[in-house]
A and B are shown apart, each in its own frame.
Chain A
Amino acid sequence: MNAMLYFLRKLGLLFRRKQFHDELAEEMSFHREQLQQEFQAGGMPPQEARFAAARQIGNVARLKEETLDTVGFRFETFLQDFRYASRQLRKNRAFAAPAILILALGIGATAAIFSVVNPILFEPLPYPHPSRLTMLWEKRSDGSSMYVTFGTYRGLAERTHLFEALAVMKPWQPTVTGPAEPERLEGQRVSAAYFHALGVLPVIGRDFQPADDQFHGPNVAILSHRLWRRRFGADPGIVGRQIRLDDNTFTVIGIMPPGFENVLAPEAELWAPLQYDPSLPFDGREWGHHLRMVGRLRPGVSLTQARSQLDVIMPILTRIYARGYTSSGWPAVGFLVNSLQADLTADVRPALLAVLGAVLLVLLIACVNVANLLLARNAQRRGEFAMRAALGAEQPRLVRQLLTESLLLALLGGALGMVVAEFGVRALLALSPPGLPRLSAIRLDPVVFAFGLGMTTLVGVVVGLFPALHASRVDLHTGIQQSSQRSTGGQQWTRRALVIAEVALALILLISAGLLLRSLQRIFAVTPGFDAAHLLTMQVQESGHRFDSDQARYNFFDQALQAVRQVPGVISAGFTSQLPLSGDYDIYGVELEKENNPEGHGAFRYAVTPGYLEAMRIPLRRGRLLNDRDRNGVSGAVLISESFAKHVFPGQDPIGQQVRAGPDRGQAARSWSTIVGVVGDVKQASLELGDADAFYIPNKQWAWADNTLSLVVRTRGDAAALAPAVRNAIWSVDKDQPVVRVATMERLLAASEAQRRFALIIFEAFALVGLALAVTGVYGVLAGSVAERTREFGVRVALGATRADLLALVVRQGMVLAAIGLVTGLVGAVAATRVLGTLLFGISPLDAVTYTGVSAGLAAICLIACWVPAWRAAGVDPSITLRAQ
C-alpha cells in the first residue's frame, strides 16, 4: 500500500516537473534571502552577506540534482544523459560520423554473416523434434560413405525398431504437360514414410500410404504448395484429379503446407512413391547405390545406441543378400549415422565457421578503432570533464554520462548497421556457394535483429567503458589549467596498445585471405585433364513413351548430335553419361579377364558417343579413340584412364585386355569387351582429389540406353554465346525434350570451388576493411602525437635537430608500434589459421611465403601511414611554435 502511494506521488511529480523545479528554486532562494537578512542584521555588508548565505546553503546545482535523484525516476537521468549525449554528437560530427560509420560496418557485417550462419548451423531444423532426425549412409571398408541401395533400406527396415520412420529418396525430374506450357519440374521419388519421417503432413488431401509405394503401384503424386499455386491456380479440387507427367497419368493425392521447407531437396516441388521391386532382383536398380536414407529415431534412442545396433545389422544383410551386394560393386561394412543437421551442413561448416571468425575479427577491429577515436576525443574534452567534476559531478555519474554517449554511438551505428546487413545478406546470397542448405531461411528476421541489438549494446559498453574510466579519473587542477589537447602518458599508452591490437588483428585477416588466395591459385593450377576453355555443356533428357525402346533413345541422341555439329561456330561435340566437375558421380565395377574378379574394380563410368573425348580434348596416350563403328552388336571397345592402367596393369600393356563392366560383370553369357586405348586422367568429383580410375565405353555398348546424357560442345568463340543456337539445334530434332544445366565448362570449374571462392571473397573484403581501419588507426595516433609535440619539435629544431632527425624520430615511433603489432599478429595467425584447415589446398597453414609477403606488405603500408605525420613534424618552424605558447 505504502509503496503504491509512494509510486503515485512520484508519478504525480513527474507530470508537474516544471512546477516542482520552480517551487524548489523559490523555496531555496527564500532560504537564501532569509539568511542574507540575518547576516546583514548581524552587521555584515550586503555583498558579503550574500556570499556567506550562498556558502551556507551549499552547491545549489548539485542539491537540485540530488533532489531530482530522490523524486525522479531512473530513466529521467538517463534521458538527461541521452539528450546531452546526442547534443555532444551533433556538435562533433567530424568525430561522430566516422565512428558511427565504422560501427555500422562492423555490426552490419556481423549481423549479415550471423543471419546466414544461424539458420544453417545453429537453429534447429524446421521440423518437430528435429534432433531425432538422422541421415544414414552405407559405410565402405575405408570408412567413407556411399549412397544406400534399396536392398539395404528394405533389409534394415525389416530388422530394426530404432526408428519411428525410415525413408529413402532420389531426385526425380518429370516433365509436366497439360493445358499450360510443358515444364520440367524438380521432384523426388520417395518411399511411403518420407513425410512421416520429417513430421510434416499434407495440408490438403492425404500422405503416401504403404499401398502407394508398391511395385507397379498406382501413379500418385503430392504437390508442394508453391507448385499448386503456380501451376494449378491453388484449386483445392485438384486433389483426386489427374495430371500428366512424362506421358503418364498421375493422381494428385495431397498438397503440402505453404511453409514446408524440404531441407533434403529444397528445389523439389512434387513427390511420387519410389515403387521399387521388393523381390530385390540382384541385377536391378534395387542394388544400385543411389538412394539417400533419412530416419526419425524413436524417442529416447540416442545416436550412439543407433550406431552400435546398426553395425550389427549390416553383416547380416550382406550374408543374406550376398549376390545383391556383390552386384552393387561396393561391399558395405556398416552404416554411417549422422544427425540430419550435421549431415546437411558438413560441407559448408568449415567455410561458414571461418567466415564467422573473420567477421568477428572485423568487428573487433572496428571496436578498437572506435575506442581509439573516443580516447582521442575524450582527451580533447578534459577541460569539460574537469569543469563538470568541479561543479560536483562524481565519478560514477561521469562514467554513466560517457557510457551513454558510447551507447548512443553504438545504437546509431547498429541502426545503420542493419541497413548494411540488409545489403550484406543480399550480397551473401548472390555469392553463396551452391549446396548451401536452408537458403530460404536466410534473412534479417527478429532473431538477427535481437542479435544485432545485443551486439550493439555490448559494443557500446565495451567501446565506451575503457575510455570512460580513463576520462573520469581527471585531476581537477591540471584539467582546468591546461584545457589544451595535451593527453597524459597513460592515455597515450592505451591508444598505442589499441593500435598494436588493430595491426595484429588486421594481419591475421590478411594472412588468412592470403592463404585462401594461394590455395585457390594452387587448385586452379591443377589441370582438370581436359581443355576447359571454349567448352559449352548442357544436359539433354528424353521424356515420354516414344523413347521406351533403346533404339529410339540412340536415334534421338544421334540426330541431336548431327544437328549440333551443323551449328556454325561448333568445332566438335559429343555426349557423355557423366560430366566432370558437374556433381555427377557414377561408379561401376570392371571385371578383368586376367584376374577373374566378378565383383570388379570400381571406376568412373563414362558411356559416351564418339567425338566426346575429341571435344573435351582428353589426350590419347596409346591405342585409339572410339568411333562410329563401335556400336551395339559388334565386339565391345573400351578406353581406360592412365591411372586405371597404372593400378590394374602395372608394367603391362593394357591394350587388348578383356573386361566386362557394370551389370555384365560375372555374367558368363555376356561377351568381353577389349581395351582399345588409354587416355589421360580427368578430374571428375573435384580438382583437389587425386586421379580416380575411369573407363569410357560407347553408349551403345553399355548394358542399357541412358535417357539422360550431357552434351559437350567445343566452340570457336565464346562458348556461352552459342548456347541458344545449340539448344535450338536439339529442339529441331524433338522440341519437347528438356535441355537443362546449360553452363560453360569454365563456370562448372569455378563452381566446383565455390565454397573456397566464397570464403576467399569474404576474407578479402574483410581483410581490406581491417587493413583500412588499422592504417587509419596508426595514422591517427601518430598524427595526434605529432600535434601534441609540436612545441617539443620546435625546441629540438632550435637546438639543432635536422629535418631528417625529426622524420626518423616520428617514423621510428610509429614503426615500433607497427612492428609489435605485426609480431603479435603473426603469433595470432599461427593459431587462427588452423581454423581454415580443410579450406586450404596444397599449402600449409604456416606457409612461409604468405606470412612474409603479407607482413612485409602491411609493414610497407604502415610506413606510409607514419610518413605523413612525420613529414608534418619535420616541417615544424621553431620561431612559430615556440612563440605560440
Chain B
Amino acid sequence: MAKKPELLPGTLDMLILKTLTRAPLHGYGIAQSIKALSRDVLTVEEGSLYPALQRLALKGWVKAEWKTTETNRRARYYTLTAAGRKQLGVELSEFEQMILAITRVLQNA
C-alpha cells in the first residue's frame, strides 16, 4: 500500500469548514467530499473527523442536527454557522499567507 501524504497539521478544521460551505453534511459525507475533491490524495483517518467536529461545534462554528438520509437512515448533519464562515475566512487567509511564504522560500532559496 502506497503511503499517502499526511494532512498538514491544523488544516483539518479548515477543510471541514470549507466542505460545509456548499451544504450541510454528515461525517461520512464530509470524508467522502474531502477525498473526492482532493482526487483521493488527501485521506483523513476518518475517525479523527469526530473529535474535530465536536471541537468545532463547541466553538460554535458548526451546528449539528439529526436528520434522515435519502436512504432513510438517521444521521447527524453539520451546518456551517455565520461564526464558522467568518472563522473559515480567517483560516483561509492565514493558510494562503503561509503557502505563499513557503513557496517564496522554495523558489528563491
Question: Would you call A31 and B46 a contact (CB within 8 A)?
Answer: yes
Closest B residue to A34 using CB positions: B28
- Contact mask B18-60 → A, CB, 8 Å, 1/0? 0000000011100100000000000001111011001101111
Tally of A-B Cβ pairs under 8 angstroms: 68
Query: With an 8 A cutoff between CB atoms, is B75 at the interface?
Result: yes
Chain B residues near A5: list those with CB within 8 A.
Answer: 60
Chain B residues near A31: list those with CB within 8 A.
Answer: 26-28, 31, 46-47
Query: With an 8 A cutoff between CB atoms, is A146 at the interface?
Result: no
Query: With an 8 A cutoff between CB atoms, is B85 at the interface?
Result: no
Task: State how many residues of chain B have any CB contact under 8 Å with chain A.
Answer: 21
- Apart from A27-B27, A27-B76, A69-B51, list 9 A-B contacts with CB within 8 A: A5-B60, A6-B58, A23-B76, A31-B27, A34-B28, A58-B48, A59-B47, A67-B51, A67-B54
Which interface class (under 10, 10 to 19, 20 to 34, 35 or more) fits A? 20 to 34
Chain B residues near A6: list those with CB within 8 A.
Answer: 58-60
**Contacts A31-B27, A63-B51 known; A57 to B46 CB distance under 8 Å?**
yes
Of the listed residues B48, B50, B55, B66, the one surrounded by the most CB atoms of chain A closer than 10 A to its CB is B50
Query: With an 8 A cutoff between CB atoms, is A144 at the interface?
Result: no
| Cβ 8 A contact of A71, one of B26, B46, B54, B73 | B54
**Contacts A27-B75, A31-B31 known; A58 to B58 CB distance under 8 Å?**
no
Query: With an 8 A cutoff between CB atoms, is A649 at the interface?
Result: no
> How far apart sit A289 and B102, CA to CA, in the bound complex (Å)?
92
> How far apart sit A58 and B76, CA to CA, in the bound complex (Å)?
20
Of the listed residues B28, B45, B74, the one surrounded by the most CB atoms of chain A closer than 10 A to its CB is B28
Query: With an 8 A cutoff between CB atoms, is A390 at the interface?
Result: no
Closest A residue to B27 using CB positions: A31
Chain B residues near A57: list those with CB within 8 A.
Answer: 45-47
Question: Would you call B76 and A63 a contact (CB within 8 A)?
Answer: no
> How far apart sit A56 and B45, CA to CA, in the bound complex (Å)?
6
Chain A residues near B27: list those with CB within 8 A.
Answer: 27-28, 30-31
Query: With an 8 A cutoff between CB atoms, is A488 at the interface?
Result: no
Query: With an 8 A cutoff between CB atoms, is A247 at the interface?
Result: no
| Cβ 8 A contact of A63, one of B26, B47, B55, B75 | B47
- Does more than half of chain A's interface fall in helix, strand or loop, or is it mixed? helix
Rounded to whole Å, the gap between the CB of B106 and the closest CB of chain A is 32
Question: Would you call A28 and B50 a contact (CB within 8 A)?
Answer: yes
| Cβ 8 A contact of A10, one of B50, B58, B73, B75 | B58
Rounded to whole Å, the gap between the CB of B75 and the closest CB of chain A is 5
Chain A residues near B28: list those with CB within 8 A.
Answer: 30-31, 34-35
Chain B residues near A2: list those with CB within 8 A.
Answer: 59-60
- Contact mask A38-80 → B, CB, 8 Å, 1/0? 0000000000000000001111100100110111000000000
Closest B residue to A24 using CB positions: B50
Chain B residues near A69: list those with CB within 8 A.
Answer: 51
Closest B residue to A20 using CB positions: B54
* Contact sample, A vs B, 27 pairs, CB 8 Å cutoff: A6-B59, A6-B60, A9-B57, A10-B58, A13-B58, A23-B66, A23-B76, A26-B76, A27-B75, A27-B76, A30-B28, A30-B73, A31-B28, A31-B47, A35-B46, A57-B47, A58-B46, A58-B47, A60-B47, A63-B48, A63-B50, A63-B51, A67-B50, A67-B54, A70-B55, A70-B58, A71-B58
Chain B residues near A67: list those with CB within 8 A.
Answer: 50-51, 54
Question: Would you call A58 and B60 a contact (CB within 8 A)?
Answer: no
Closest B residue to A28 using CB positions: B50
> How far apart sit A66 and B50, CA to CA, in the bound complex (Å)?
9
Question: Would you call B58 and A9 a contact (CB within 8 A)?
Answer: yes
Question: Would you call A56 and B50 a contact (CB within 8 A)?
Answer: no
Chain A residues near B66: list those with CB within 8 A.
Answer: 23
Rounded to whole Å, the gap between the CB of B109 and the closest CB of chain A is 36
> How far apart sit A34 and B76, CA to CA, in the bound complex (Å)?
13
Chain A residues near B45: list those with CB within 8 A.
Answer: 56-58
Chain B residues near A10: list those with CB within 8 A.
Answer: 58
| Cβ 8 A contact of B51, one of A9, A30, A56, A66 | A66
**Contacts A27-B76, A67-B54, A70-B54 known; A56 to B59 CB distance under 8 Å?**
no
Interface residues of B in 53-86 (CB under 8 A from A): 54-55, 57-60, 66, 73-76
Chain B residues near A9: list those with CB within 8 A.
Answer: 57-58, 60
- The 4 lowest CB-CB distance pairs between A and B, nearest first, are A58-B47, A57-B47, A63-B47, A67-B51
> How far apart sit A562 and B57, CA to CA, in the bound complex (Å)?
101
Chain A residues near B51: list those with CB within 8 A.
Answer: 63, 66-67, 69-70
Chain A residues near B54: list those with CB within 8 A.
Answer: 24, 67, 70-71
Chain B residues near A56: list those with CB within 8 A.
Answer: 45-46
> How far apart sit A498 and B71, CA to CA, in the bound complex (Å)?
66
Chain A residues near B74: list those with CB within 8 A.
Answer: 26, 30
Of the listed residues B46, B48, B66, the one surrounded by the most CB atoms of chain A closer than 10 A to its CB is B46
Closest B residue to A66 using CB positions: B51
Chain A residues near B60: list those with CB within 8 A.
Answer: 2, 5-6, 9
> How far apart sit A63 and B54, CA to CA, in the bound complex (Å)?
11
> How far apart sit A536 and B19, CA to CA, in the bound complex (Å)?
101
> How far apart sit A57 and B31, CA to CA, in the bound complex (Å)?
10
Chain A residues near B55: list those with CB within 8 A.
Answer: 70-71
Rounded to whole Å, the gap between the CB of A69 and the closest CB of chain B is 8
Rounded to whole Å, the gap between the CB of B80 and the closest CB of chain A is 17
Chain B residues near A35: list those with CB within 8 A.
Answer: 28, 46
Of the listed residues B31, B47, B58, B76, the one surrounded by the most CB atoms of chain A closer than 10 A to its CB is B47
Chain B residues near A26: list those with CB within 8 A.
Answer: 74, 76
| Cβ 8 A contact of B26, one of A30, A59, A60, A66 | A30
Chain A residues near B48: list those with CB within 8 A.
Answer: 58, 63, 66
Rounded to whole Å, the gap between the CB of B52 and the closest CB of chain A is 8
Chain B residues near A60: list those with CB within 8 A.
Answer: 47
> How far apart sit A66 and B11, CA to CA, in the bound complex (Å)?
18
Chain A residues near B76: list those with CB within 8 A.
Answer: 23, 26-27
> How far apart sit A71 and B58, CA to CA, in the bound complex (Å)?
7
- Contact mask A82-104 → B, CB, 8 Å, 1/0? 00000000000000000000000
Chain B residues near A63: list those with CB within 8 A.
Answer: 47-48, 50-51
Question: Would you call A28 and B26 a contact (CB within 8 A)?
Answer: no
Rounded to whole Å, the gap between the CB of A24 and the closest CB of chain B is 6
Question: Would you call B47 and A28 a contact (CB within 8 A)?
Answer: yes
Chain A residues near B73: list those with CB within 8 A.
Answer: 30
Interface residues of A in 199-241 (CB under 8 A from B): none
Closest A residue to B75 using CB positions: A30
- Contact mask A629-643 → B, CB, 8 Å, 1/0? 000000000000000
> How far apart sit A247 and B50, CA to CA, in the bound complex (Å)?
94
Question: Would you call B50 and A27 a contact (CB within 8 A)?
Answer: yes
Closest A residue to B43 using CB positions: A56
Closest B residue to A62 using CB positions: B47
Of the listed residues B48, B73, B74, the one surrounded by the most CB atoms of chain A closer than 10 A to its CB is B48
Chain A residues near B26: list those with CB within 8 A.
Answer: 27, 30-31
Chain B residues near A59: list those with CB within 8 A.
Answer: 47
- Contact mask A851-880 → B, CB, 8 Å, 1/0? 000000000000000000000000000000
> How far apart sit A67 and B48, CA to CA, in the bound complex (Å)?
9
Chain B residues near A13: list those with CB within 8 A.
Answer: 58
> How far apart sit A602 and B92, CA to CA, in the bound complex (Å)?
99
> How far apart sit A506 and B28, CA to CA, in the bound complex (Å)?
65
Closest B residue to A63 using CB positions: B47
Chain A residues near B31: list those with CB within 8 A.
Answer: 31
Rounded to whole Å, the gap between the CB of A158 and the closest CB of chain B is 79
> How far apart sit A57 and B51, CA to CA, in the bound complex (Å)?
12
Rounded to whole Å, the gap between the CB of A580 and the closest CB of chain B is 82
> How far apart sit A35 and B60, CA to CA, in the bound complex (Å)?
28
Rounded to whole Å, the gap between the CB of B9 and the closest CB of chain A is 15
Rounded to whole Å, the gap between the CB of A56 and the closest CB of chain B is 5
> How far apart sit A5 and B83, CA to CA, in the bound complex (Å)?
13
> How far apart sit A798 and B109, CA to CA, in the bound complex (Å)?
72
Chain A residues near B46: list those with CB within 8 A.
Answer: 31, 35, 56-58
Closest B residue to A58 using CB positions: B47
Chain A residues near B47: list those with CB within 8 A.
Answer: 28, 31, 57-60, 63
> How far apart sit A5 and B58, CA to CA, in the bound complex (Å)?
8
Rounded to whole Å, the gap between the CB of B14 and the closest CB of chain A is 17
Closest A residue to B73 using CB positions: A30
